[in-house]
Structure 1
């Protein structure tokens, strides 16, 4: 892959990552509640799900899923249900009375797998990757190295963008010192998860 082609792909990767979606909502929610450092498991979980999608497409299975109405529908409605569940959980999440170490929080491992499922159950990512990656593959050259380059670029860019979202969200914590404000913010993010579920439910292939 030439430098010019890679830079074009890099721009596309940045635009993909900064666009609002369930992953961004999940990241900002974690950043607001746990801060940057403690949000790393969630960010890494998102990348696991994203990486699985890239591998799926790279192995040729993504095209099969994207062409199967039944398979896409199953993944789609699993994702819808999961996002609604996350929204309800966030809406009901208890407020943080203090930042003491004994304050009960969700474990990093649980947040890792929760975030991984957010991306794993997003069929829009599969369809998008199926449409995007072939546009940058150079015919006559081995596809493996090209896919590795593009997949690595997508994941690294998404990590940086999610870190940015986390940093911005963590700065809001200073304003969320009262139970009322925290409760309202939990309901905002709960509503955003449900909104993402509605958007996913309305997703139709062109």
Structure 2
């Protein structure tokens, strides 16, 4: 495994995006346990994209504008829904002290869905991973290994983001105005991310 792959993967994973934002929000509004669950959910949401890249389905998605746009706009719609629910103080990102199973399920489902409905991830893995896989026998095994490393890095970095957010949670929650501003900032960020996804092309 090359140092270039590790450094490039770290930069990609650490760059703030939808998953990182969601994990931060989960840690801030629900605590450390929720942030770890959110990080796991976001990581799990990359699995279908990795599988698509390994099996060659990414090539189909890249070639088919209809398929790409269908998934893209579903992702845009879901990000806008997340923005709306966050702004209205409902859904997975509301400040919630409960530890009900339904609460954890909502964190999990939202995290998986956010990454699942991003077709750029499939195209990214299709273009990124093969650069570090030598041609010939065992290439699939090598790609699976690199994918596992990438997923592990994703989980660790996202969990670290969430832990940092959870660490200041108590101080934040004692200031209702600050909580309201943060919630609206998260909502606005989801709108910005939905706009960025909407203008993405293959």
TM score, norm. by length of structure 1: 0.89
How many residues get paired? 198
Identify which range, 29-38 or 174-183, moves more after superposition: 174-183
1:27 maps to which residue?
A: 23
Runs of 4+ in 1 over 4 A off after TM superposition: none
Contact 1:42 1:108 in 2 (8 A): no
Contact 1:31 1:39 in 2 (8 A): yes
Identify which range, 169-178 or 42-51, moves more after superposition: 169-178
Shift of the alpha carbon at 1:38?
2.3
Alignment partner of 2:186 out of 183, 189, 201 = 189
Shift of the alpha carbon at 1:113?
1.2
1:161 maps to which residue?
A: 157
1:11 maps to which residue?
A: 7
2:62 maps to which residue?
A: 66
Contact 2:34 2:107 in 1 (8 A): no
Shift of the alpha carbon at 1:179?
2.0
Distance 2:28 2:48 in 1: 27
User: 1:146-189: CA deviations, max 9, x gaps?
Assistant: 11111101100001110111022123321331222211111010
Distance 1:195 1:39 in 2: 22
Q: Are residue 137 (structure 1) and residue 145 (structure 2) matched?
A: no
Distance 2:173 2:190 in 1: 20
TM score, norm. by length of structure 2: 0.91
Q: Are residue 179 (structure 1) and residue 164 (structure 2) matched?
A: no
Distance 1:45 1:106 in 2: 15
Distance 2:173 2:191 in 1: 22
Long gaps (5+) in structure 2: none
Superposed CA RMSD: 1.9
Q: Are residue 90 (structure 1) and residue 86 (structure 2) matched?
A: yes
SS of equivalent residue, structure 2 residue 135: coil
Long gaps (5+) in structure 1: none
1:114 maps to which residue?
A: 110
Shift of the alpha carbon at 1:9?
1.1
